[in-house]
Amino acid sequence: MKKILVINGPNLNMLGKRKEEHYGRLTLDMICDSMTTLASDLDMSLTFVQYNGEGEIIDCIHSGMDYDGLIINAGAYTHYSYAISDALEILSIPKIEVHLSNIHARESFRSQSVIARSCTGQISGFKESSYILALYALRDLLKD
């Protein structure tokens, strides 16, 4: 069984109350539940964390050494946190950057991801399905 760490950053605890056109209607708990359901079919165990603070996210990424893969939605930190990018760079496991909204089709500041250089790939714009697609990507990347 592959161990996957799923990190959600600032304001993602408020899903369900954020702009539906960008983020959909589901709460973070609902997204985590549908990921857990799929994970059992994919023989994966998921650990979910959500932090609003940059330092907590960095500490959590450091604990990623114990996992086989990582999924991260760093929220707005995506666009300017070199510290999160540097923390991700340390980990040699596959890392998938996810976004509910299409960050390339919104305000110009969102189209830059400073964490993309430290991730295996990016999935953006499929609302809650972005997380589901990330699980399939990790399933393929972690095939023995």
- Is 67 among the residues known to form the active site? no
What's the angle, vertex CA 43, arms to CA 75 and CA 102, rounded to 5? 25
Contact 116, 84 (CB under 8 A): no
Contact call for residue 113 and ligand DQA (CB under 6 A): no
The helices-and-strands tally (H runs, E runs) of the chain is 5, 5
x/- mask, ligand DQA, residues 54-93, rule CB under 6 A, reads -------------------x-xx-x---------------
* Residues from 29 through 48 that contact ligand DQA (CB under 6 A): none
User: How far from 82 is each of 29, 74, 79, 116, CA to CA, in Å?
Assistant: 28, 12, 9, 11
Shortest separation between residue 97's beta carbon and ligand DQA, angstroms: 9
The contact set with ligand DQA (CB under 6 A) reads 11, 73, 75-76, 78, 99-101, 103, 110
